[in-house]
Amino acid sequence: MAVTMADSEPGVPREAEPRRPKRAWRAWLIRLAVAASAGLLYYLSFAPRPLWWLAPIAFAAFALVLRGRKFRGGFGYGFVFGVAFFLTHLLWLQDFLGREFGPWPWLGLSVTLALYFGLGGFLITVVSRLPLAPLWGALAFIALETPRTWFPLGGFPWGRVGFSQPEGAFLSLASIGGAPLVGFAVVLTGFGLAALLARLWQTRHVRDRALVWPVAFTLVPVLAGLAVWPTIGTGAQDGSLTVATVQGNAPDLGIALQGQRGVLRDNSLAESARLLTDIRSGRVAKPDLLIWPETSTAIYGDDPALDQMVSAFGVPAVIGALVRRPDGQDENDAVVWDPRTGPGQRYTKQDLVPFGEYVPARALARLVTPFVDNTPEMRAGDGTNAALSAAGTKVGVFICYETAFDGPARDAVREGGELLVVPTNNAWYGPGEMSYQQLAMTRLRAVEHGRAAVVSATTGVSALIAPDGTITSSTGLFTADALVGRVPLRTATTLSDRLGAWTEYALLALAIAGVAGGVVLRFRTRRGRAGRTAGDTAD
């Protein structure tokens, strides 16, 4: 066997091949680190941080990781991106469920939701060879937010891209197409930026015609959002209303607070009494409508104490209550309480919290923890009375967790709601970021429907929100407090209201068409290569 000088001299490699696996390994680690960092960057774009502009940067980094990757790599890097995001974004689940269920709900849900991001990475590689690839990639990623509203656990849309934008250039687009359009604009900007950077790196020539579409994808969504802002109406169209919301506060016990509902009631009554004293002394204005947070009391029949409290204010109230119906079934309701006639119209929460208001697969969950039997089974509502008649107007109501779903707020406005009221019991979720994340969603809903919104929370954050998403006043976390303020009543419907779910369906249909086109293109390319190979063999 012949031996070359490269074989015999120490320190001189025989050939370049042995170095390639090392370089490939280093490149893989770098891409993995960038994918995880992109997930963390995406997390940082969410409330309570006002860093909405980090979201498109995170998606640009994610797109650069996927550039040139095969299907398996697309899924893997997408999954890593998702795990890094959801483990941080949903850390508040430990405050909610960790004391009784351990880390398993947090870990299990985070990993399950990360699979959607993995599938998103896979689909992005499928459409990567199509013309206008950033457009099809953004559509594919946003389209996967639709099945997330169905599965797991009856749907868990927390962490949708649009919810990272409670302020900034993209938020105004909610008035046109809701959360789906806002999210699509963010992802398209990020993917366009990635394509632009890659093209500049390849050509090193800023006048290259191939830059036109990447520049358009990067800038058009931002410019569109800025152009829509002047159309956002904030003025009163049917008068205005002075509203008061009571935040009674509660101890930080997580889901164990289920067994201490009397504390919520007592604290709400005490804070209402303090507010009434301030009103009678003239320190604050008398409200036209009083609001109590979600399940701030339990109602099992007549309630003289509530009758007396509402009568003392002399104005109607919307009371968030755990109501036991005559058939013995519990419901999570918002009840209109008249100062003369008592309880009347009510709205029943449709989208219940898994492990908080019902337990999915209770028999299996019991194998993990015996505490599962401490969680009641509530009955979900059917969507009726989404707009309650109170204080001479229609008050659109959706409760806590329902803020993450598009339907309840849309139903409230379609039924004539001129003001949005969001009772919530965030006492379950501790001092983490959940309350701020939910507040950000409500700010987007205000712009989406062109309505002022009142968030009434047991432990914070309670807030008054203008129709352009601006917070006009708010409370702190885990403090007893009350807010009183004037809010405009509005009747005009936005384009988003009129289009309804069709925007989401259109984006989904375009994504499906893009993926189908990507599959066909790859099939034809592979068949063409096979034909050329066969021809070369024949020659």
Structure tokens belonging to residue 88:
């941080």
Instruction: Confirm if 98 and 106 have CB atoms less than 8 A apart.
Output: yes
Q: Is 157 exposed, middle or buried (0-12, 13-18, 19+ CB in 10 A)?
A: buried
Instruction: Confirm if 511 and 278 have CB atoms less than 8 A apart.
Output: no
- Is 337 strand, coil or helix? strand
Name the catalytic one among 271, 400, 418, 433. 400
What is d(CA 43, CA 81) in angstroms, rounded to the nearest whole number?
A: 10
The gap between the terminal CA atoms of the chain, to the nearest Å, is 35
Catalytic, 294? Answer: yes
What is d(CA 35, CA 365) in angstroms, rounded to the nearest whole number?
A: 33
Name the catalytic one among 100, 271, 331, 349. 349
DSSP string, 401-440: GGGGSHHHHHHHHHTT-SEEEEEE-GGGGTTSSHHHHHHH
Residues whose CB falls within 8 Å of the CB of residue 12, separated by 6 or more in sequence, listed in order = 5, 6
Catalytic, 15? Answer: no
How many other C-beta atoms can be found within 10 angstroms of the C-beta atom of residue 530? 10
Instruction: Confirm if 278 and 284 have CB atoms less than 8 A apart.
Output: yes
Catalytic, 400? Answer: yes
Name the catalytic one among 294, 357, 402, 504. 294
Which residues are identified as catalytic? 294, 349, 400
